[in-house]
Amino acid sequence: MEIIQRNVLKEKPKKGTALGFGRFFTDYMFTMKYTASKVWHDAKIEPNEPKSFDLATSVFHYAQGIFEGMKAFLQPDGEIAVFRPEENWARMNRSAARMCIPQFPVETAQKGLETLLKLEKDWIPNEKGTALYIRPTIVATRIMLGVHASTEYLFFIILSPVGSYYAHGLEPTKLLVEDFYVRSSIGGTGEAKCLGNYAASMKAAELAEEKGFDQVLWLDSNEKKYVEEVGSMNMFFVLDGEVVTPALVGSILPGITRKSCLQVLKEKGYRVSERRISIDEVVEGARNGTLQEAFGTGTAAVISPVGFIRYREQDYTINNGKMGTITKMLYDTITGIQYGTLPDDYGWRSIIR
């Protein structure tokens, strides 16, 4: 694969710098282009530098674009491991299908990712709780104001050394249950990882933040009755010993950390179910003590305990605002596999050689 070198490398964040999420970017990126006549072509590694786009470029107007989130981890023996990349590529092509974006060749994307990671290995942070976040994205690049699927696209992968997604790290998050705005509806784009889903979530998120909450807990758009997800995380509840997560009804992102947690829980013998969960069931459980734990899962968020929720002006504390034992077990198992401190029993570590 062609590598266009840059003349001067960036300064890396110093050891001990609070990385936060998505604030620093590495020296290089992977790109490939699509045109109707040449399909996907021109795959290469190039300096991660600003690019210029005509202001009539269609993604700026109609948000025809999708992205993914993965992480690379430095292993104790110095190797690089990516967590389940094949799952992200498959989901990205499903998102592409929903957004009328042509299917991309997974082998080229994977080869691009591997070449990029080997080149940028020194950017992988190795402090506890850190990783190199991988952001593959496809945007519509045709210069056109008609509302039609583009005939030109740019695929790129940028990398960002990150710490924890929430400023308060692993401290339990506070969620505000949103019963006016909705994230998605059946038949909409909620199960695709497309740009517009995130733009649509910002108003409610801003209002929640003003009230001191970390995120919004979305309900279904139809009845505003059933719990969906958090936008950056899928949700799990431990209700009377059973681990419950909302079923993938079409409006919820099919998370890869979610899927991994379900597999770990089932193999460890927990009672697990994917079903509809009403917000009434959750708050009733919080009231009578049967709601033992709540947590969110996601690539950026990993496994994040949820300690507080507010619904219709009533506040509920879960597990005394502390991380529960099942949450902790999942956090330790998933991060142990990711950081290479536990055996990879499920074959989830993709070692980059």
Regarding 69 and contact with ligand COI (CB under 6 A), the answer is yes
Binders in 254-273 for ligand COI, by CB under 6 A:
none
123 and 99 in contact (C-beta within 8 Å)? Answer: no
β strands within 150-290, DSSP E: 152-162, 173-178, 215-218, 234-239, 242-246, 271-275
CB-nearer residue toward ligand COI: 157 or 300: 300
H, E, C per residue of 182-203: CCCCCCCCCCCCEHHHHHHCHH
Say whether residue 296 binds ligand COI (CB under 6 A). Answer: no
Q: Is 157 in the site for ligand COI (CB under 6 A)?
A: no
Taking CB under 6 A as the binding criterion, the range among 34-42, 203-211, 293-301, 335-343 that sits at the site for ligand COI is 293-301
H or E element, residue 352: strand 349-352
Query: Six-digit token pair at 238?
Result: 């431990």
Instruction: Give how far Cα 220 sits from Cα of 154, 195, 203, 250, 353, Å.
Output: 33, 20, 17, 11, 44
For ligand COI, the binding residue among 300, 306, 309, 337 (CB under 6 A) is 300
Tell me if 327 contacts ligand COI by CB under 6 A: no
We find the least distance from the C-beta atom of residue 142 to ligand COI, in angstroms, to be 25
> Is residue 190 within the footprint of ligand COI (CB under 6 A)?
no
Cα–Cα distance measured from residue 230 to residue 156, given in angstroms and rounded to the nearest whole number: 26
- The residue (of 232 and 335) whose beta carbon lies closer to ligand COI is 232
- Judged by CB under 6 A, which stretch of 76-84, 214-222, 294-302, 328-336 contacts ligand COI? 294-302
- Contact flag: residue 134 with ligand COI (CB under 6 A): no
Q: Does residue 161 bind ligand COI (CB under 6 A)?
A: no
Interface pattern 198-237 for ligand COI (x via CB under 6 A): ----------------------------------x-----
Q: Which residue is nearest to ligand COI (CB)?
A: 69
User: With CB under 6 A as the contact rule, which of the stretches 110-118, 200-208, 297-305, 312-320 interacts with ligand COI?
Assistant: 297-305
**What are the φ/ψ torsions at residue 331 (nearest 5 degrees)?**
-60, -45
Find where tokens 């949820």 sit: 306
Q: Which is nearer to ligand COI, 172 or 298 (CB)?
A: 298
Per DSSP, the residues of 109-156 read HHHHHHHHHHHTGGGS--STT-EEEEEEEEEE--B--SSS--SEEEEE
Residue closer to ligand COI (CB basis): 299 or 319: 299
Within 8 A by CB and 6+ apart from 199, the residues are 63
Specify the stretch interacting with ligand COI by CB under 6 A; choose among 100-108, 123-131, 170-178, 296-304: 296-304
Q: Which is nearer to ligand COI, 260 or 299 (CB)?
A: 299
Q: Which is nearer to ligand COI, 29 or 134 (CB)?
A: 134
In the complex with ligand COI, which residue's Cβ is closer, 304 or 333? 304
Helix axis angle, 325-339 relative to 256-267, nearest 10°? 110
Considering only CA atoms, which of 200, 85, 99, 98 is closest in space to residue 135?
85
CA atoms of 199 and 221, how far apart (whole Å): 17
Binding site for ligand COI (CB under 6 A): 69, 232, 298-300
